[in-house]
């Protein structure tokens, strides 16, 4: 029978490699970097050594040339230990590298993707703004056409990999902006590099509830000149790039939820066997049984949904927004609820960092906000389902 979660020997080998790497190198540092709110850049570069930073990028540009299922596997395995590091990985590998691989020119791919795939460059994507998140059409960052290129003005907010530490920008970003004079719905995408005049770190955002091992920042553009050759694709055509990449982003965010939920189920299952109360193992009590059984069933339902969607998702086309929204809507909520149950099973031990479920609960909370809020997914799905009269 076909294995839904490891459909080919290559997928199984990828999972085994990623899980071994996580156990040996990711897990030992996860709590420390969360507490310090520090991005582990050397460990991030190790993901390049394993071929994960360009997991979906064509081999011509230094990537592994794999599919959406492979991307899901990588995110599930990494987030089971360190969701903060995994979020930095997602912003780089999905929002920057995959996006540029699909939509960039050969010259742009050759310039940026080998470094992105090796880890020599840390990339990100800039869409959200201080006054525009879910409301993409409220975007105010503008680009003015000048001789030889564009002059960019505005600010982007909540940018993962925007800051590698308190003072250091990430290396390269895909920036969505509206070219002055173009239609309101027409967005363009420009490549901006660290060191470009007028490009600066506004503030590194600290004291976050969760995902503390990833660097989040405000990025500022003040008369920032961007050469014409750094326009990605056609001017005014970036909305399609955005929609196509959002489907993969939401799928991999759902995969992160799976990793969080799986780890929480494992922890509460083990703890309930090892800990006794009133002369019996915790797992003999009905209340604890409900927490464990309900969590496992919810995790497996989400996992089946995610891998079914991944198997049908084409990286180079859009068209399954109902289910890319649906998997994230379901799994983000599921992961938070499973983590919450795990804290309840562990009691006081669940409330402290040493047992991990406290950190995983905090990290899970972002997944109901970032990459699209639950409310945005519900709106999108309801609007798209209105066009459907029968579910197949």
Which amino acids are annotated catalytic? 249
- Measured between alpha carbons, how far is 110 from 113 in angstroms, rounded to an integer? 6
With beta carbons less than 8 A apart as the criterion, state whether 122 and 129 touch.
no
For residues 52 and 289, give the distance between their C-alpha atoms in angstroms, rounded to a whole number: 37
How far is the C-alpha of 76 from the C-alpha of 253, rounded, in Å? Answer: 9
How far apart are alpha carbons 27 and 267 in whole angstroms? 14
The answer to whether the beta carbons of residues 350 and 303 sit under 8 Å apart is: no
> Tokens in use for 287?
């209340």
- CA–CA dist 381, 388 (Å, integer): 11
Alpha helices in the chain (DSSP H): 9-21, 27-36, 41-49, 68-79, 83-90, 99-103, 106-118, 238-274, 286-312, 321-346, 357-366, 374-385
Would you mind telling me the total number of residues written for the chain in this entry?
392
Question: Quick check: 310 and 251 in contact, CB under 8 A?
Answer: yes
Characterize the bridge pairing of strands 199-204 and 142-146.
unpaired
Give CA–CA dist 294/302, Å, rounded: 12
Per DSSP, the residues of 87-146 read: HHHHIIIIIIIIHHHHHS-HHHHHHHHHHHHHTSS-EEEE--BTTBSS-GGG---EEEEE
Strand pairing class (280-281; 276-277): antiparallel
Residue 150 has φ and ψ, to the nearest 5°, of: -140, 150
Other beta carbons within 10 Å of 206: 12
Phi/psi of residue 294, nearest 5 degrees: -65, -40
Q: Hey, which residues does 163 pair with through a beta bridge?
A: 169
């Amino acid at each position: 029978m076909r294995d839904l979660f490891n459909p080919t020997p290559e997928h199984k080998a990828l999972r085994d490699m990623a899980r071994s790497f996580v156990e040996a190198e990711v897990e030992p540092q996860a709590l420390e970097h969360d507490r310090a709110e520090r991005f582990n850049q050397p460990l991030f570069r190790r993901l390049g050594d394993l071929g994960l930073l360009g997991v979906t990028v064509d081999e011509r540009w230094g990537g592994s040339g794999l599919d959406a299922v492979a991307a899901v596997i990588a995110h599930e395995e990494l987030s089971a230990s360190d969701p903060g590091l995994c979020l930095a990985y997602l912003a780089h590998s999905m929002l920057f590298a995959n996006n540029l691989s699909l939509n960039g020119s050969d010259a742009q791919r050759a310039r940026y993707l080998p470094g992105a795939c090796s880890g020599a460059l840390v990339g990100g994507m800039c869409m959200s703004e201080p006054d525009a998140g879910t409301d993409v059409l409220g975007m105010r960052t503008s680009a003015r056409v000048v001789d030889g290129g564009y002059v960019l003005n505005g600010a982007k907010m909540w940018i993962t990999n925007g800051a590698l530490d308190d003072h250091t920008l990430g290396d390269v970003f895909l920036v969505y902006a509206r070219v002055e004079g173009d239609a309101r719905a027409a967005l363009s995408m420009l490549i901006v590099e660290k060191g470009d005049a007028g490009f600066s770190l506004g503030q590194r955002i600290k004291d976050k509830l969760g995902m503390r091992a990833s660097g989040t920042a405000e990025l500022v553009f003040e008369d920032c000149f961007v050469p014409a050759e750094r326009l990605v694709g056609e001017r005014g055509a970036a909305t399609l790039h955005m929609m196509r990449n959002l489907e993969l982003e939401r799928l991999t965010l759902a995969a992160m939820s799976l990793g969080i939920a799986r780890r929480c189920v494992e922890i509460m299952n083990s703890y309930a066997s090892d800990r006794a109360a009133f002369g019996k193992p915790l797992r003999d009590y009905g209340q604890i049984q409900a927490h464990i059984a309900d969590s496992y069933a919810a995790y497996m339902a989400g996992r089946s949904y995610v891998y079914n969607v991944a198997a049908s998702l084409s990286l180079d086309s859009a068209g399954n927004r109902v289910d890319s929204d649906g998997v994230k809507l379901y799994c983000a909520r599921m992961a938070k609820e499973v983590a919450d149950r795990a804290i309840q099973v562990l009691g006081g031990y669940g409330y402290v960092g040493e047992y991990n479920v406290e950190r995983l609960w905090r990290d899970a909370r972002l997944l109901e906000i970032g990459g699209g809020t639950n409310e945005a997914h519900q709106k999108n799905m309801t609007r798209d389902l209105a066009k459907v009269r029968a579910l197949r």
